[in-house]
Amino acid sequence: MTSEAILTVEAYFDALGTREMERILSHFAPDATWTIPGDPALTPWAGRRTGPEEIRQSLTAFFADGLITDYRVFEDSLGITRTCLGEPLSTTPA
Instruction: Give pTM, 2 decimals.
Output: 0.66
pLDDT band at 50 (very low <50, low <70, confident <90, very high): very high
Kindly give, in sequence order, each residue whose CB lies less than 8 Å from that of residue 40, ignoring residues fewer than 6 positions away: 46, 47
Q: What kind and span of H or E run contains 33?
A: strand 33-36
pLDDT of residue 28: 94
- Please report, for the chain, the start and end positions of each structural domain, with discontinuous segments joined by +: 3-85
> What pLDDT score was predicted for residue 94?
47
Which region, left, alpha or beta, applies to residue 51 given φ > 0 means left and ψ of -120 to 50 means alpha? Answer: left
